[in-house]
Structure 1
């Protein structure tokens, strides 16, 4: 178990887990409102498909509201949610499947007492566990039983605790042993599917590695570096993650920009835009705003207004 943030209200300036950068907007501020833990030590048999397990729980004052915002890869998350939480397409506590987010950021409203336990699949990772196409749940959330019939009975991760007892569940998840027990139950359930590597997914994983290269900014670039035709790339991405290649490339570079800002970028926006592959600052600003809801200037100003200067 690693990358555990074991505190409800960390001091200002506390460094968030590395994987927050570029994904969680205003990451230090988020950690002042909720307790976060992550487990990246995934069982070896599941590592090709599962990136990490994570949990967030909160206990806010009666008049307090906080909205988290993330810009992640268009992956799929399986979540067990309890207590008070507000977002589109869900109705409170339960087990949910959130599809690849391709539009703007993904917002969740926190209030009262509650929490989430999640399985973050790699891009395309659900193909080993369900026959459903990721495109069918793009930009939406559905009950997990839509893909996994019987999951409510097959995944007893809370033991003797009811899912709506958010205080008891949250207290349990704040301990390493408690979170480890939940992860163990989830992994046993996933392993029961006996996931198998396919030739198509193996090829897809090789191509995904190239997305970490900030110089790859177009479908043509990816085709050239991967030795794969543009049509084959489009088919691979559609089949495995239900999202077009161009959308994933733009979001990957936007995440790079967010991470740069959160880590203390103090250069010109045009310089960062050029470094990440945009031809001009105006297109960079437009893409950044479309995905995050902020212009670069607004995002940096939000840091200062919240009392969280760049890290």
Structure 2
């Protein structure tokens, strides 16, 4: 507990009044000093008797870079308080500081910027008396972890996997599934001429659902130089999401861990979570980020990052990630899928 600027000003008035009274014998100055001193004492007593503030914060769901979450914070206690959330680099906030009379509830916007596991909090709460003469600063509430996935982009679809990874010479067309933009390597027989004719500058190809992938599985291995880990993580995330959307089981291998084979929404979150935190703490600036020996030998898809960019190997077909990326829009966000 300590005096505020206003408190020091009042204390200065008390001291000056007493000096003048002693020097010149002006008893009237005591009429100024006494109430001011009483105000300081009352402020200190009020603040000492005030409850130590406590805080509870909403859980912050995992998100993608660019996503914004609304975070609600409940602060209990008494007195007038200035409240500020502690936010690390990699996250941006709006409205994360406020001044209010306790107890109070406030909401701020949290925008995810960088991939990784970030820690929000605790709160810095500066409580003062009603006159603002004395204040005490507390660090209250627990911390909250905010998981930010790597970006996910739309990439060439399931026919690439079926041809190059599953060693199928021809995709059995069971049912029309979706349209997407043409990328080099797509067979011309899949061009959707009706949609292409309506578009001025784009070529569209049709993708077909294949019921045979129900029991198929792929192993994805990802490795990179330390300077390209973020790009590698984005490419690997895009590939595993594409494979899951195609109905395949997916196993992911990164240097720190292996996410075992699985399917479904919960497995997708595990894969994205592993890629969110991979190599966010360990590699030195000039170090390497490599898989154990043999980890790529039996992998169906290998994602590699180096000084020249990121390449994706589908069986014997090697392409840069830029070649197979259809769009920089996140298919999970634009498709209405929650992160």
Is TM more than 0.5 here? Answer: no
Task: Indicate the structure (1 or 2) with the bigger Cα radius of gyration.
Answer: 2
More helix by share: 1
* TM-score calculated relative to the size of structure 2: 0.21
